[in-house]
Amino acid sequence: MIGSHPSPNYSARRDGLGPHLIVLHYTAMASCDAALARLCAPEHEVSAHYLISATGAVHQMVDEGQRAWHAGAGSWGGLDDINSRSIGVELDNNGAVPFGAAQMDALEILLHTIMQRWAIPAAGIIAHSDIAPTRKADPGRRFDWRRLALSGLAVWPGATGHVAPDTGAFLKAAQKFGYGAEFSFDAVHDAFRQRFRSHAFGPLDGIDMGMISNLALDHSARPA
């Protein structure tokens, strides 16, 4: 069951756009109640369509047909104004601890229903850090993207081999996958690893190259 907690912080989607993306966030606040209060406070001018508590309770703050104010500046697949193109889902988590089973179960149910309602493909489920890698790190390295992918609720690279590291080739493939051309290699590489290799650190390597090459080939956000 989804609880209603309307936020005044929304506007009409621009240019007749509808959602084709779902952006996942973490709240980085002391509690779900604190996050709910902030997302519904007019003076903060921020909101999301949904907030999921650590216990799995789902709160709806903005109607899906409206433009919630969750994404900020950023781009995906060469397109900006992500707020007009997306549905925002906040998760009650500080980014430093795992996302619990009850919360992930509730998220999977919510994603499935939203994706069906708006015909959003698995490739349309993205991280806040994907669209704004120089500003944001949520939902972070503790979020289980692999679990979502196994349920058909996100994408994951298929079988990959080692490819010789090349920063230019990495950026080209990352931009084909969806990352904005305005972002630096370091920012995109970090966002990529947060999502697909959360335990990896250090310089670009052959595993990174193989994975991004596969993602660009199979899940491109741009036309060939």
Is 204 in contact with 151 (CB distance < 8 Å)?
A: no
Number of domains present in the structure of the chain: 2
pLDDT at 158: 85
Tell whether 171 and 140 lie within a shared domain. Answer: no
Q: Which two tokens stand for residue 200?
A: 């990896």
Tell whether 103 and 8 lie within a shared domain. Answer: yes
pLDDT at 91: 98
Query: Angle at Cα 221 formed by Cα 215 and Cα 224, nearest 5°?
Result: 90
Tell whether 29 and 131 lie within a shared domain. Answer: yes
Q: How many residues in total does the chain contain?
A: 224
3-state secondary structure 185-222: HHHHHHHHHHHHCCCCCCCCCHHHHHHHHHHHHHCCCC
Q: Which two tokens stand for residue 198?
A: 């959360």
Q: Which residues are catalytic?
A: 90
| Residue 207 domain boundaries | 167-218
Q: Which of 125, 150, 175 is the last residue in one of the domains?
A: 150
pLDDT at 220: 86
Residue 142 and residue 175: Cα distance in Å, rounded? 24
Give pLDDT tens digits along the chain (224 positions). Answer: 899 999 999 999 999 999 999 999 999 999 999 999 999 999 999 999 999 999 999 999 999 999 999 999 999 999 999 999 999 999 999 999 999 999 999 999 999 999 999 999 999 999 999 999 999 999 999 999 999 999 999 999 987 778 899 999 999 999 999 999 999 999 999 999 999 999 999 999 999 999 999 999 989 887 65
212 domain-assigned: yes
CA distances from 142 to 14, 99, 200 (A): 33, 7, 13
Output the domain CATH number for residue 42.
3.40.80.10
Write down the pTM of the prediction: 0.97
